Amino acid sequence: MGTEAGPRILLLGGTSEAMELANLLSSQSGGLRVVTSLAGRTRNPAPVPGQVRRGGFGGAAAMADYLRDEWIAAVIDATHPFAAQISANAAQACEQTGVPRLLLRRPEWLPVEGDNWIICPDMAAAAAKLPGTGSRAFLTVGVQELAAFSGLADIRFLVRLIEKPEQELPLAEYELVIGRGPFDEAGEQALLKKHGIDVLVTKASGGAATQAKLAAARALGLPVIMVERPPVPPGPAVETPAEALNWLRKELRS
Ligand code: NAP
């Protein structure tokens, strides 16, 4: 790694998988150069090996310019399953420029025996479902999605966020808990009990770090309102950083 002669890869990040892949790539020989791109939303992101750029590109056409200007040989879109805009932009920019693109997306959570999941297509549907399902909701959908729940004056929310928000949340009645995974089942059960939670509202992010809340809800017999993932752009996709590395090796050989 690290010679200036090797191909340059753009890794669209902001997830633990992107971090894992950046670590994997930094330990490879062969002169690959990796640029991890972060949206810049997190105030204190964990350090990433290799080069890092922060902030939006300015849309799909501007990302296409970036790919040309920076001589990017391949793009790996390892963004979060709910970051639909950047994935759509990457698909469009790569199509315009002919740069190969891979989607690295963690597997979905699957319901198991004892789960009571109410699957909703989007946040608005989840908010509409909530009043008939519970009155004290544990809401773990991310700060950007809270507005969908703002009209629910009779629900008391426990909202978990990764970072302390800079502004009041757009909810009538809420309590805040700040925490970054991984979480464990015992801790999640204790949290649900302490706050008298009767329903969990979450999105189908997948991943081990935040899965324990689902086991905790199951153990306590609580319903889970689960918002489905948005669709992904067509094209090659893998589920693990190791598979992404294999794809990259093949792609750069051909
Ligand atoms: P989004 O709605 O898909 O993207 C909105 C805009 O933010 C994009 O059009 C792009 O701006 C910029 N952007 C997003 N990801 C970027 C990246 N990796 N590098 C450079 N610019 C990026 O994305 P989002 O849902 O706000 O998520 C933002 C970031 O947080 C993503 O990197 C994602 O992996 C991470 N994340 C998201 C969630 C979630 O639940 N959505 C959870 C955990 C982590 P321009 O159009 O100007 O290029």
230 touches 205 (CB < 8 A): no
Cα–Cα distance list, 61 to 53, 80, 86, 98, 101 (Å): 18, 21, 12, 13, 16
**CA of residue 56 to ligand 1 center, whole Å:** 8
Q: Is the pLDDT confidence value at 251 over 90? A: yes
For residue range 90-106, list pLDDT tens digits in order: 999 999 999 999 999 99
More confident residue, 93 or 46: 93
Average pLDDT, the chain: 95
Q: How much is the pLDDT for 2?
A: 40
Q: Residue 56 has what pLDDT?
A: 98
Atom 21 in ligand 1: residue holding the nearest Cα:
56
Task: Write down the pLDDT at residue 5.
Answer: 64
Name the residue with the closest Cα to ligand 1, atom 23.
83
Give the least confident one: 16-30, 186-200, 234-248.
16-30
Whether pLDDT at 3 is above 60 = no
Q: Look up residue 34 and give its two tokens.
A: 């990796």
Residue 171 pLDDT: 97
Is 80 close to ligand 1, i.e. is its CB under 6 Å away? yes
What number does the ligand 1 atom closest to the CA of 18 have? Answer: 34
CA distance 181 to 169: 21
Mutating to test ligand 1, I would choose from 37, 85, 86 the residue with most ligand atoms within 8 A of its C-beta, which is 86
Global pTM value: 0.94
Tell me, rounded to whole angstroms, the distance of Cα 87 from its chain centroid.
11
